[in-house]
């Protein structure tokens, strides 16, 4: 029974989602997007291009570490905020009421 439900759900997703989800991007937006051009001379990248690629590859781990650490930093902020109002036990919950 569960297999039938899973198969039905998968079929529904395959059939229905392409008709539900549609990108709404204008032609002007698509035309305004530019990608860098890599230029080569005799099969080797130009010096300027090689430097740009190397700079990108050097910075990539730092960007990855920053993006990977963001959820943890956000959770740390939530925990610190809860502790600052007196929630120190595991079962305590903060209720926010805005006037």
CB 38 within 8 A of CB 45: yes
Give me 48's structure tokens: 């300027």
Give me the phi and psi of 40, to 5 degrees please.
-125, 150
Looking at residues 90-97, what average pLDDT do you find?
A: 70
Domain limits, the chain: 38-72
Average pLDDT, the chain: 76
CA distance 99 to 93: 19
| pLDDT confidence tier of residue 9, bands split at 50, 70 and 90 | low
> Does the structure show a pLDDT above 60 at 92?
yes
């Amino acid at each position: 029974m569960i297999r039938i439900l899973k198969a039905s759900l998968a079929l529904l997703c395959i059939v229905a989602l392409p008709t539900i989800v549609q990108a709404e991007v204008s032609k002007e937006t698509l035309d305004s997007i530019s990608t860098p051009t890599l230029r080569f001379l005799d099969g080797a990248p130009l010096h300027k291009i090689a430097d740009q690629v190397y700079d990108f590859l050097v910075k990539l781990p730092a960007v990855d570490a920053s993006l990977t650490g963001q959820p943890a930093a956000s959770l740390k902020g939530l925990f610190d905020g809860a502790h600052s109002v007196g929630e120190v036990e595991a079962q305590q919950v903060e209720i926010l009421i805005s006037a």
